[in-house]
Chain A
Amino acid sequence: MAIFGLWVINKAGGLVYQRNFSDGLAQLTSNENLVLAGTLHGIHAITRNLSPTGTSSGAHVIEGESFKMTILLTPTATKFVLLTSLAETTADSMLQKVYEAYSDAVMKNPFHTPEMPIRSEGFDRRITSLIGS
């Protein structure tokens, strides 16, 4: 039960917020994180079209052998991605709370430019109280 990291990806596939919480995954440079977020954005679009039956959402949970990524796609196409251990069961509800914090502390911030990197102390604080340091 561990939460490794949080990404917020804007609708163009750019990484606008990234934070690590606990060790367990590789320490990546911000450039590497940007590339991975862009890749995820592309994969998410393709997974919608691969459905063998009916229309599908994009990938919701992606699992490796020791961790998983849970993806929340909002109606405005912003993606919240939570990197957790496989056993973590609260990822979905946690993402909802992060989305709430984002609406309160980022979208209501008059100094924030939409689709640009999030530099907001208020958001940072809300995330810290939600997930921890």
Chain B
Amino acid sequence: MTIYSLYIFDRHCACVYYQDWHRTKRPRVAVEGGILPGVSQVIAPVKSMDASAAVLGSTISSPRNTLSSTSGVVVAVGDSAEPQGNALLQTNASPASSSVAPTGLPFDEEAKLVYGVILSLRNMVKKLSGRDEQFTNYRTSTYKLHLYETVSGYKFVIFSDPNAESLRMALRSIYVGPFVEYVVRNPLAEMDSKERGLDNDYFRAGVDRLIRGLAVFN
């Protein structure tokens, strides 16, 4: 029993958050422009050398940098350009998952496929039932995908072991817990911006704690 990965999509079909745990087949980094910034540092496109050097070289390149350099903890918005100032995140990355070489699809392709599947299945279930019924999960021989959709159109998708019970309640608790606390109530997080994801250290740590606390997580 285990949990593989979590995706959050907003109502504009964009992937705004990604986190993974026990994946043995990991996605390759997204191509430039294929994915919003601030989704996950693990799969963010690799910046060209001089661009990242320029950012690292200046201490105050953005208002956010002044925050993180003075207090050392206030990083309310995840920024792919400064991965080194991120102690919280680095402790979260499980050594097992980061040591595996990526073999799967590029992340942006994978996110599109996941979204396509849940959208089609959602429409299919609605059509078949003739009611406003939600698609909840599907299972294959090696994984199970669970979907929880909020009223505001956010879609929480989790990949787990095929034998796991329904994880909709766990997804709901991510929504009412870390999501409300660290994204909705976070004045620096730009929800619905179409320009960046929701990634920030507190949210990532909160989700990580919650998922690791689940009975199916081993």
- Confirm or deny: A75 has a beta carbon within 8 angstroms of a beta carbon on chain B: no
Residues in B whose Cβ lies below 8 Å from that of A53: 4, 22-25, 142-143
A122 sits at the interface (CB 8 A): no
Would B128 and A28 count as touching, CB distance under 8 A?
yes
Contact A50 B113 (CB under 8 A): yes
User: When the two chains form their complex, are residues A52 and B20 in contact, meaning their CB atoms are under 8 A apart?
Assistant: yes
B139 with A65: CB separation less than 8 A: no
**Within 8 Å of chain B (Cβ to Cβ): is A96?**
no
CB distance from B141 to the nearest CB of A (A): 4
Contacts of B129 in A (CB 8 A): 25-26, 64-67
Q: Of the candidates B4, B24, B135, B141, which one forms a contact with A60 in the assembled complex, judged by CB atoms under 8 Å apart? A: B141
Pick the residue among B25, B120, B141 that contacts A43 (CB under 8 A). Answer: B120
Query: Can you offer 19 A-B residue contacts whose CB atoms are under 8 A?
Result: A25-B129, A25-B130, A47-B117, A50-B114, A50-B117, A52-B4, A52-B143, A53-B22, A56-B140, A57-B140, A57-B142, A61-B139, A62-B121, A62-B139, A64-B129, A65-B134, A66-B129, A67-B128, A83-B128
Which chain B residues have a beta carbon within 8 Å of chain A's beta carbons?
Answer: 4-5, 20, 22-25, 105, 110, 113-114, 116-117, 120-121, 124-125, 127-131, 133-143, 145, 159
